[in-house]
Amino acid sequence: MKDKIESNRNKIDEIFAYLHDHPEVSWKEMGTTAYLKQLLEQQGFSVQVFKECTGLVVNIGEGPKCIAIRSDMDALWQEVDGVFKANHSCGHDAHMSICLGTLLAMKEHGFPENIRFKWIFQPAEEKGQGAKKFLSLGVLDDVDYLFGVHLRPIQEIPDGTAAAAICHGAVSAIKGTIYGEYAHAARPHLGKNVIEVGAAIIQGLQAIHMDPLIPFSVKMTKLHAGSETANIIPGKATFSIDMRAQTNDMMHTLKAKVTEVIRNVESVYHVTIQLKIHEGLVAAIVHEESYDLMEQAIIDVIGKKNLKPRITTPGGEDFHFYSLHKPNLKATMLGLGCDLSPGLHHPKMTFNPESIHTGIKILTQTIINTIQSLSKD
């Protein structure tokens, strides 16, 4: 298998270079979809595309069980050297290259006749909506095992190491509008100062206490009120609150507590506060069988000394919607050490491109381990 993977090394490097140089933001990955479709069809694969959205799926084989590999596709829109543009600062160009490399390696290895396979190239992960869209299109309806991959920053694991699961946290947000009462600054008793209301909400958020063994955070990230005129008490403000929790149950509790804080402030200050809750992302749901299969693959490829424990991170990933909506899905995500710095989503993010080939080997071995496990059943 090692020789089969190495034979595609130059091709994968070329693919990564193209994808890196042609980033596209969420729901606009038209060029990326077309490029991947042409590339895969040239390799003899049947490719499924969608009228409803970007992205594509490769379907292979027949059988009662299905093993799937998923990659995200989209880039971020951010300022790079003073210019706003699409930028692959989250590593999705590497993820696509790893998944393509895994597909090419398995093509040379040979697919068993009694198992189905899917390679899923999913759009709009950065919007947190791509996985939901693919679920609505039935892409995951017949999938039993699902494996993903994500580059990890140096703050989590070092280059040359890997973890068999990434335990992302749940992410949610509340956006609100405070309606108070405008007044002249000389007559504050006639007004209801929405900045004071916002400050009271911040104090209430800081007083939220929950299980200290489960990481969580809540903070106001936007408060906008007032104008250029300093002698007017503002009567309207908008705000945003970011909420993060390491489990879905904790997020449910956190949203309830934050809402309670806001309603209490609303009552004390006699104002009206309109709220809109944005559901965001769910926390990871790792299946232990898939975890064990990937853990063994990591040991097989880079050795036990380079195996790291599952990664707990406050970041979010829409990959986990698949497990939430399909409770029987056996899913996990490879965390790949790659000397990534300064960090994910940094406009100057860099990583060791050699890790792409390590990721290909690990994911390919994970597929082989899964095939062998199914053959024993």
Q: What pLDDT, on the 0 to 100 scale, is given for residue 377?
A: 73
95 and 124 in one domain? yes
Count other C-beta atoms under 10 Å from residue 348's C-beta: 11
164 and 200 in one domain? no
Please say which residue of 281, 302, 326 terminates a domain.
281
Please state the domain count of the chain. 2
Please say which residue of 266, 281, 296 terminates a domain.
281
205 and 158 in one domain? no
Q: What pLDDT, on the 0 to 100 scale, is given for residue 279?
A: 86
223 and 110 in one domain? no
Q: What pLDDT, on the 0 to 100 scale, is given for residue 339?
A: 98
Asked if residues 25 and 86 have their Cβ atoms less than 8 Å apart, the reply is yes
219 and 176 in one domain? yes
This prediction's pTM: 0.91
Any idea what the CATH number is for the domain that residue 144 is in?
A: 3.40.630.10
Any idea what the CATH number is for the domain that residue 256 is in?
A: 3.30.70.360
Q: What pLDDT, on the 0 to 100 scale, is given for residue 376?
A: 85
Cis peptide leading into residue 153 (ω within 30°): no
Asked if residues 257 and 210 have their Cβ atoms less than 8 Å apart, the reply is yes
41 and 158 in one domain? yes
85 and 7 in one domain? yes
Instruction: Return the amino acid letter for 63.
Output: G
Please tell me the distance from the alpha carbon of residue 296 to that of residue 315, in angstroms, as a whole number.
26
119 and 38 in one domain? yes
Collapsed DSSP state (helix, strand, coil) of residue 187: coil
For residue 344, give its domain range. Answer: 2-169+282-376
Q: Which residues of the chain have pLDDT under 70?
A: 1-5
Q: What pLDDT, on the 0 to 100 scale, is given for residue 2?
A: 59
Please tell me the distance from the alpha carbon of residue 130 to that of residue 322, in angstroms, as a whole number.
11
Give the pairing of strands 311-313 and 166-168. Answer: parallel
98 and 11 in one domain? yes
133 and 20 in one domain? yes
Asked if residues 107 and 117 have their Cβ atoms less than 8 Å apart, the reply is no
226 and 352 in one domain? no
Task: Show the tokens assigned to 82.
Answer: 């003073």
27 and 157 in one domain? yes
DSSP states along 238-283: EEEEEEEESSHHHHHHHHHHHHHHHHHHHHHHT-EEEEEEEEEEPP
Report CA-CA distances (Å) from 165 to 70, 147, 264, 285.
Answer: 14, 10, 40, 10
Please say which residue of 251, 281, 311 terminates a domain.
281
Q: What pLDDT, on the 0 to 100 scale, is given for residue 4?
A: 58
Report CA-CA distances (Å) from 346 to 29, 127, 222, 300, 319.
Answer: 21, 17, 21, 33, 21
Phi, psi of 83 (to 5 degrees): -125, 130
